[in-house]
Amino acid sequence: MATIYRALETVPTPQASFTSMLLNRFESSASALGFTYPDESEQWQELSWGQTGDEAAQIAAGLIALGVEPEQRVAIAANTSMKWILAQFGITLAGAAVTTVYASTGADDEQFILNDSNSHVLFAEDEGQLAKVLSKRDDLPELHKVVLFSGSTDGSDWVLGWDDFKALGRQALADDPEVVARRAQSVSGDQLATLIYTSGTTGRPKGVEITHSSWGYVGAALREADVIDDDDMQFLWLPMAHVFGTVLMAVSVEMGFPTAVDGRVPKIMENLAAVKPTFMGAVPRIFEKVHSAINAMAKSGGAEMEAGFAWAVGVGQRYHQAIADGVEPDEQLKLDYAKADEAALKNVRALLGGRMRFFISGSAPLFADISEFFAATGMPIYEGYGLTETSALATICRPNTRRGGYVGEPQPGTEIMIAEDGEILVRSPAVMRGYRNQPEATAEVLLDDGWFATGDIGEFDEFNRLKITDRKKDLFKTSGGKYIAPSAIESRFKAVCAVASNMVVHADNRKFVSAVISLDPDSLTAWAAATRKEGDFATLSQDDDLVALVQESVDRLNEGLNSWEQVKKFLILDRDLSIESGELTPSLKVKRRVVVDHNRDALDALYA
């Protein structure tokens, strides 16, 4: 009989709905800082929880005035910003359900999402987002109104500007001051709260239906897991169209800590220095880039500086591991750590704002060496595991049991079982209601007795920590009959190759493993400067010395792999993978099949 793994903690009764979570927070923390965000002149503005509630009430009243009914879908197509969060809160207070749309979604896919969800109103970020739906207006019969965050409406009766829409809400509240309160108080836990369309590494996106009670549970479970403190400050840049961003916003409502919001990825480092948060959620690609940049800085100072930095990181790893294990470091280790911290480690923390206590990583595997690097600097990464279908989190690392390469223990109130074939099954109040309009797909993953089949392969260690080994559908079999788990190979490579952005392993029915490698533009520029090379990206990517550097990294990778897993041949792309090319999802996951299809001829040539 399979073992069921559970957390030791039990979850106190969660709030009945996400709406009730909001109402409680707006009232109980009215004067406390809720959010800070940059305005159009790049000045950081603040909103208390009470002010946030007032803004959200105007939006809710505006939606009710437009005829939006309970559980009707209202879509948001935008990047992460304060306006997205206010719109989401307003939709929730109105008892409607949020449909999420990535800003990068193409017009055809956006049309599919809006029609599949039966969205009645759309919040669009700007004129570019508006143009996509205007081009499909005749094919969007249920979409009655578009509200524009910024830009010109061109006088269309189908489009409302942000200020005009909020004025509509204020008038509705003036006419009936209780209109939002009545609607909000009627929301129940089994109502649809959020409809998140998976970005999909293959095929059309599926609409995942998440109820109010799921968000109530996730908020309470994360509080009980004792990772985040009430007095922490979050920096939130993750796409709010992704479940990872949504769950971090939900837990801020549950716990009441403030959040700095800015979804512009190129501004992350600058913003961390400006707002000095204590924690941040991110996908592994962000940590990989920071890790590469810091190591490149150490290497640029010469062999002595590089060796000194490596020594400091090693000392930091031993010191912080002892603390995590509950062991008092000996006097020599304390002395060494004080020297390492003064010489190097505190400078790394300063680059990230100086107050960072920890990070949360999710969405994709993080190589253990990168996790241990950040732990050494005093900023541990607590990995979590979950899917959109489990409201983002099923497991999360704890401060005293964190270990690189593991995604933690079941969060309070969640049960996990490993099926006979190694697939991870989850049973939790956070599991979705189902896939919208796809009963057959729903039946495939929602099994008997409330278990959800994740499609991931994993195993537990003796300390109740889960390790993800790969996606079930991504496992390859070579023509020699050997199975290959590509994600573990790929994440390891990105940690050992200073110039790598992505690796895509290819081996299905082939006689050996090959790989497609793309380079990180910033790292390539730094390498060119250090080696005094000239040329554009395409030229540098094929430079003999660069190819030799990548080959050296592949050789190091292969040293830790079984013979049938080793990468025998590879090709280096003359550009990085991108969302625009369809090779990455908006959450920066690689679309493996797209990359292989784009490079089919070159891969075939490797096996000729």
pLDDT tens digits for 339-367? 999 999 999 999 999 999 999 998 878 88
CB 529 within 8 A of CB 300: no
Q: What is the pLDDT of residue 201?
A: 47
| Residues comprising the chain, all counted | 608
Q: What is the pLDDT of residues 253-296, one digit of tens each?
A: 999 999 999 999 999 999 999 999 999 999 888 998 899 889 88
Specify the fold of 18-187+233-271: Rossmann fold (3.40.50)
Q: CA-to-CA distance for 231 and 239, rounded, in angstroms?
A: 24
> Would the pLDDT of 199 be above 70?
no
Mind listing the pLDDT tens digit for each residue in 295-331? 888 888 888 898 999 999 999 999 998 888 888 999 9
User: What is the Cβ-side half-sphere exposure of residue 598, based on CA atoms within 13 angstroms?
Assistant: 21
| pLDDT per position as a tens digit, 114-160 | 999 999 999 999 999 999 999 999 999 999 999 999 998 877 889 99
**Phi, then psi, of 542 in degrees rounded to 5:** -110, 10
Q: What does the alpha-carbon distance between residue 17 and residue 94 come to, in Å, rounded to a whole number?
A: 13
CATH number assigned to the domain with residue range 475-606, chosen from the 4 options 3.60.15.10, 2.40.110.20, 3.30.300.30, 3.30.750.24: 3.30.300.30
**Segment 522-561, tens digit of pLDDT:** 889 889 988 899 999 999 999 999 999 999 999 999 998 8
Token look-up 């595991």 returns 385
Other Cβ atoms closer than 10 A to 66: 19
DSSP string, 390-449: GTT-SEE--TTT--TT---EEPTT-EEEE-TTSEEEEE-TTS-SEETT-HHHHHHHB-GG
Which amino acid, one-letter code, is at 148?
L
Q: Alpha-carbon distance 548 to 378, whole Å?
A: 34
User: Does 475-606 match 18-187+233-271 at the fold level?
Assistant: no
3-state secondary structure of 596: helix
| pTM of the entire predicted model | 0.84
DSSP strands (E only) in 286-343 = none
SS (H, E, C) 458-497: EEECCCCCEEEEEEHHHCEECCCCCEECHHHHHHHHHHHC
Break the chain into its structural domains and give their ranges: 18-187+233-271, 282-427+455-472, 475-606
Residue 531 in 3-state DSSP? helix
